[in-house]
Structure 1
Amino acid sequence: MRPAILIHGPTASGKTQLSIDVARKLDGEIVNADSMQVYQELKVISARPDEAEMDGIPHHLFGHVPAGERYSTGQWLEQARPVIEDIQKRGKTAVVVGGTGLYLLALTEGLSEIPPVPEDVRHEVLEIAKADGVRGLKTRLQVVDPEAAARIDDNDRQRLGRAYEVWLATGTPLSRFQNRRSNPVLNPDEWLGIALTPPRAKLYARIDRRFEGMLMEGAMEEARALVSLGIDPELPAMKAHGMPWLSAFIRGEIDAATAADNAKRDTRRYAKRQFTWIGRQFPFWPRIPSPDPATRLRVVSALYKEVDR
């Protein structure tokens, strides 16, 4: 079976274009590893590739989950496993692409078997975060799970909240669960990982331009449709890049310029955290700093020849 190619990088770094170029050159099929591109209703806001971009190349696990559902890493892994195996059995190259590093980590290192967290515990942690702020949440986590607290960024409310709710629900630190992983889907000799690391100034400028382009392509209309569904604002789909600020504008709480500026700012901050994730979690993955598509394709092709022997 041909080794899989895993493409990771910060948002707006050109992962989609590279995945399509690689799949076309190496007779591949693309598997989504982005936690927002799984949602049906988030086509524009998640920058999901359209039919023209796909260029006839099979794409898997894109837009198959209703926005009103909570979709987990475990669910993705369960669905990705047979898809990747099927691609490989047919003699093709599985190109797994996305900005959700946890998906790729689970694929290559296994998944922690964490029990489900009851909804009442989720709401309790949400109220704590609202009352004490992200700093208060971090302080609480430092007491019960210092290992997880040290690993999670101070401003990452979602991951801090996740770690604290696991402890509240189980009495066991999240870090302890994470140290006990299931077997990976892909063994070390069955995949090649690539991290895109373009210059940050250029990436941040591209993030701003892309968001403006999204607005022209219908992001506001997409946000209005989501808000009209009455979906719980704490569900992942409602926290997609820009969605909280577009929702606030739709509710009349802020003006359009403020919504756009805040959405761009938060997306740039998210990209910064993704750079940090790459450095910590994927220290040995080859980096491609060049933003040039042709250069990226040449590098991936050369590296793939080394592993596909």
Structure 2
Amino acid sequence: MSTGDVSTKPVALIAGPTASGKSDLAIELALTLDRPCVVINADSAQVYSDLRVLSARPSEAETRGVAHRLFGAWDGAEPCSAADWAARAKREIEDAHLAGQVPILVGGTGLYIRTLLDGIAPVPRIDPAVRAAVRALPVAAAYAALTAEDPQRAAVLKPADTTRVARALEVVRSTGKPLAHWQQQRVGGIGPVIDLHPLVLLPPREWLFERCDRRFALMLENGAVEEVETLLERDLPAASPVMRAIGVPEIAGMLRGEWSREEAVARGRQTTRNYAKRQYTWFRNQPSQEWPRCQSERCSMEAHFERLFAF
């Protein structure tokens, strides 16, 4: 994005854990502001076209005529990284500003939001031979190697975390420097050149968990099973993000006869709750403490976005 007077580049952000009502609030804000708006997805599941039901992607009716971007924008066969999403989000935000619209980011993927605002670590391109050799290692062997070559990183990772262990090991082997060295540097973030109007949703936990339970059961009744059946027919790699999305492994196990529908519901509810807990902790602690937090079930648009309404 170009630089200039940040007051001319407002960006609203509504973030928080799953089932906290972010999308509804984003649409309410868009309809309340006396300016045209566009809602931009910042949820790592809602980017996939294959996960309309399981990601709770807003339907056309639910958008209430407000333009939505980056919802269902990736095919499940194409993994969407934080860097991929941030690059697309930058373009959508710039297009919105050029059109005189207010971009409203909405989602619960903290890594996406942090990458967009703060930038990414400038890790050099990984040598393909190094990557192939590391990815061929059993996770136990990769973790042992990482413990020897980058003990600081190994100490904060779980030994069975295949993806992160492999990433850290390939970085130190390919670049000669540990991942922490590169993560101390950030490039490409838009935070300094926009006027951010953030709101973090942290509603009462019991209210949130009850919504998680109810929503997963409704998904099963409204097409989630058929959605997973279609995904399984595509025979995508089990490790791909779309196949690891909440609800997919639980329903897939039911379809394969590994457990009953009741067990699938119990597993899906628990997985959703666990995810919501992790998101809740992240959004409570990681964003700037200057960002306003709404801890009630309903949030006042005018109160939390007072500066935005004053434009």
Residues 93-108 of structure 1 aligned to structure 2 (within 5 Å): 93-108=102-117
Partner of 1:68: 77
Q: 2:230 aligns with which of 225, 230, 250?
A: 225
Q: Give distance in 2, aligned partners of 1:153 and 1:297.
A: 41
Query: How far off is 1:143 after superposition?
Result: 7.3
Partner of 2:28: 21
Query: How far off is 1:226 after superposition?
Result: 0.2
Residues 267-286 of structure 1 aligned to structure 2 (within 5 Å): 267-284=272-289, 285-286=291-292
- The 3 A distance-change label for structure 1 pair 109 and 63 is same
CA contact (8 A) 1:31 1:61 kept: yes
Q: Give distance in 2, aligned partners of 1:255 and 1:41.
A: 24
Count of residue correspondences = 298
The structure with the largest helix share of the pair is 1
Partner of 2:201: 196
Q: Give distance in 1, aligned partners of 2:114 and 2:228.
A: 30
User: Per-residue CA shift, 1:178-214, capped at 9, x if unaligned?
Assistant: 1111031232652122110011111111100000011
Q: Give distance in 1, aligned partners of 2:260 and 2:303.
A: 44
Q: Secondary structure at the match of 2:188?
A: coil
Query: How far off is 1:149 after superposition?
Result: 4.8
State the AA in 1 paired with 2:15. H
Query: How far off is 1:167 after superposition?
Result: 4.2
CA contact (8 A) 1:9 1:196 kept: yes
Q: Give distance in 2, aligned partners of 1:155 and 1:264.
A: 24
Q: Give distance in 2, aligned partners of 1:289 and 1:71.
A: 31
Identity %: 37
Residues 88-237 of structure 1 aligned to structure 2 (within 5 Å): 88-115=97-124, 120=132, 123-124=135-136, 127-128=138-139, 144-146=150-152, 149-150=155-156, 159=164, 162-164=167-169, 166-167=171-172, 170-187=175-192, 190-237=195-242
For structure 1, the residue ranges without an aligned partner over 5 or more in a row are none
Partner of 1:297: 301
Query: How far off is 1:155 after superposition?
Result: 9.2
CA contact (8 A) 2:27 2:39 kept: yes
User: Per-residue CA shift, 1:98-139, capped at 9, x if unaligned?
Assistant: 1111111112111112345656367446x41xx69xxx9699
Q: 1:250 aligns with which of 229, 250, 255?
A: 255
CA contact (8 A) 2:134 2:169 kept: no
CA contact (8 A) 1:6 1:104 kept: no
Q: Give distance in 1, aligned partners of 2:245 and 2:23.
A: 18
Partner of 2:294: 288
Q: Under a length normalisation based on structure 1, what TM-score does the superposition of the two structures give?
A: 0.86
CA contact (8 A) 2:47 2:70 kept: yes
- The 3 A distance-change label for structure 1 pair 296 and 165 is farther
State the AA in 2 paired with 1:174. L
CA contact (8 A) 2:202 2:284 kept: no
Query: How far off is 1:56 after superposition?
Result: 0.8
- The 3 A distance-change label for structure 1 pair 43 and 164 is farther
Q: Give distance in 2, aligned partners of 1:264 and 1:45.
A: 12
Higher deviation after alignment, 185-194 or 195-204: 185-194
For structure 2, the residue ranges without an aligned partner over 5 or more in a row are 1-7
Q: Under a length normalisation based on structure 2, what TM-score does the superposition of the two structures give?
A: 0.85
What is the RMSD of the two structures over their aligned residues, measured on CA atoms? Answer: 2.8
Q: Give distance in 1, aligned partners of 2:147 and 2:79.
A: 23
CA contact (8 A) 1:194 1:286 kept: yes
Partner of 2:12: 5
State the AA in 2 paired with 1:56. G
Residues 75-86 of structure 1 aligned to structure 2 (within 5 Å): 75-86=84-95
Report which of the two structures shows the higher radius of gyration computed on alpha carbons.
2
